[in-house]
Homo-oligomer: A and B are copies of this chain.
Amino acid sequence: MKPLRIAHVGPVATSIPPPKSGSVQMMASLLNEGLVARGHDVTLFATADSVTSSKLHSLFPHGYWHDEDMWPWELYEMMNIAAAVERAEQFDIIHFQAAYYPMGLPFSRLSRTPLVQTLHHSPDADEVALWKRYPEAPFVAISKEQASLLEGQNVAGIVLHGIDTDRFTFRPTPDEDDYLLFLGRFTEGKGVLQAIEIAQRVGMRLILAAAEEPYYREAIAPHVDGRQIVYFGEADFDAKVKLYGGARALLYPIQAREPFGLVLAEAMACGTPVAALDRGAVREVVDDGVTGIIFDDLEAMIGGLRRVFNLDRQRVHDRAVERFGIFRMVDQYIEVYHRIIDAHRKAVR
């Protein structure tokens, strides 16, 4: 099959891959490098401090997360998309990572080349009602859960995120110093208060790893005693891998309906089983009874936590690698690209 000429448009908030955190940037980088590895002709539209083996088309030296004079940020994003659309005839497909909202829509009918967007959040009904003004514009959903919110849109494919499973070192046994782990942003929706309640009621240590935010100081810090409930701070990549691998289980008592759950895949890749509430995309990411256990509510999770500990960590790891390896994601995107390009050719004919 002929290599595809792909314009891959990342957000210009920070570099790709990101210097620290930035899940959209990390995913964009993995996909980008994977597409190159599969032999495609890829041009990444991103900040000049991005690092890639593809071609790099950069309008800006660095991202607006690092420079408050880069305002309004939307105009920077729009110009980055426009740079690809203005060169549409040089590409077979333009792929925009819609980190905040699908800004690619208003450009889609002005592009000679089909423009597909990966959506990274759970849209509400009012947003989707607006997007229906471009019902033909293709989206990639990152889960069935997210796709179910996209009624009236053209969902060209559902592709779960991949992670760099090689970098999430497998640990056959957790630390002797037993602990549970909560990792993620401190928000109500992430269920950090519920994680604390679980730890307290089962009498186990809980390590909280996330950046300190107002919500932490207001709602979480009063529960942190440094003995049973321990605050680690924000973990960089290496610390994250150690924290995952050493934990008996990752607690994921998620309250919001999230479109994915990257920490689930990451913990599982380290061999650490997850205890998750049945919300949002959890059922698509966790293989119930294999890589973790999915509970209906907090009481069930507290009662069933021991069953999570008994899951086979080797099997957890193997399944995670199989399901969340980079090339599963990359190859699914290539399929989606071909599907969109073929449909476009037929429509134009």
Contact = CB atoms under 8 A, between A and B. Distances in A.
B106 A79 contact: yes
Given A86-B110, A126-B69, A133 B78 contact: no
Contacts of A79: 105-106, 130, 133
Most buried by B among A71, A74, A79, A126: A74
Contacts of A133: 59, 79
A82 interface: yes
B126 A75 contact: no
Given A59-B133, A78-B78, A79-B133, A71 B126 contact: yes
A130 B76 contact: yes
A85 interface: yes
Contacts of A71: 126-127
Interface in A59-93: 59, 69-72, 74-76, 78-79, 81-82, 85-86
Interface string A86-110: 1000000000000011110111011
The complex is assembled from copies of this chain, and their number is: 2
A130 B75 contact: yes
Contacts of A82: 106-107, 109-110
Interface string A242-272: 0000000000000000000000000000000
Contact of A126 (B70, B109, B130): B70
A105 B75 contact: yes
A119 to B, nearest CB: 13
Interface string A41-73: 000000000000000000100000000011110
B75 A106 contact: yes
Interface of A: 59, 69-72, 74-76, 78-79, 81-82, 85-86, 100-103, 105-107, 109-111, 126-127, 130, 133
Given A59-B133, A75-B102, 20 more contacts: A70-B126, A70-B130, A71-B126, A72-B100, A72-B101, A74-B74, A74-B103, A75-B103, A75-B106, A75-B130, A78-B78, A78-B103, A79-B105, A79-B133, A82-B107, A82-B109, A86-B109, A106-B107, A107-B110, A110-B110
